[in-house]
């Protein structure tokens, strides 16, 4: 019994080729996003710029400067550029975290006595 060899040429219009190209394009876009956001670690520590940190905390860069001036937020300054250790920011957020009041607690308040 002899197997039939079907030698056909694939073109860019063949479905299998179009799917492969689409998959490669998606992978390429994902890799570009990963590279854009990649920050190498310094001694296992990720450093954030003031632009990155202001985006994360949703505050202005001026507010970050005030935090630095007031000694509230630790930072590293190198040639006039400030960076922040991610672990310092996490600790800062833990220290300044305030738990909200639950709505059930507010509903139980006797507003007439206020």
pLDDT digits (tens, 9 = 90+) for 8-40: 888 888 888 889 889 999 999 888 887 776 666
- Sorted by where each starts, the structural domains of the chain and their CATH numbers stand as 47-95 (1.10.10)
- Both structure tokens of 36: 């854009």
Residue 81: CB partners within 8 Å, gap ≥ 6? 49
Pairwise pLDDT comparison (43 vs 79), residue with the higher score:
79
82 CB neighbour count, 10 Å cutoff: 17
CA gap 114, 108 in Å, rounded: 13
The answer to whether residue 53 scores a pLDDT higher than 60 is: yes
Residues in the chain: 114
- Cα 13 from Cα 34, distance rounded (Å): 30
Question: Within a 13 Å sphere around the CA of 42, how many CA atoms are in the beta-carbon half?
Answer: 9
At 68, list the tokens: 């630095």
- Per residue in 80-107, pLDDT (tens digit) is 899 999 999 999 999 988 887 776 666 6
């Amino acid at each position: 019994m002899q197997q039939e060899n079907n030698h056909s040429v694939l073109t860019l219009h063949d479905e299998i080729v179009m799917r492969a190209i689409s998959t490669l394009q998606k992978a390429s876009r994902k890799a570009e996003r990963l590279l854009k956001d990649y920050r190498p670690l310094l001694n296992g520590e990720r450093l954030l710029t003031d632009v990155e940190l202001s985006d994360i905390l949703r505050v202005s860069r001026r507010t970050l400067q005030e935090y630095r001036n007031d000694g509230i937020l630790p930072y590293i300054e190198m040639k006039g550029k400030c960076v922040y250790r991610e672990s310092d920011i996490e600790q800062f957020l833990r220290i300044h975290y305030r738990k909200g009041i639950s709505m059930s607690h507010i509903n139980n308040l006797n507003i007439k006595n206020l």
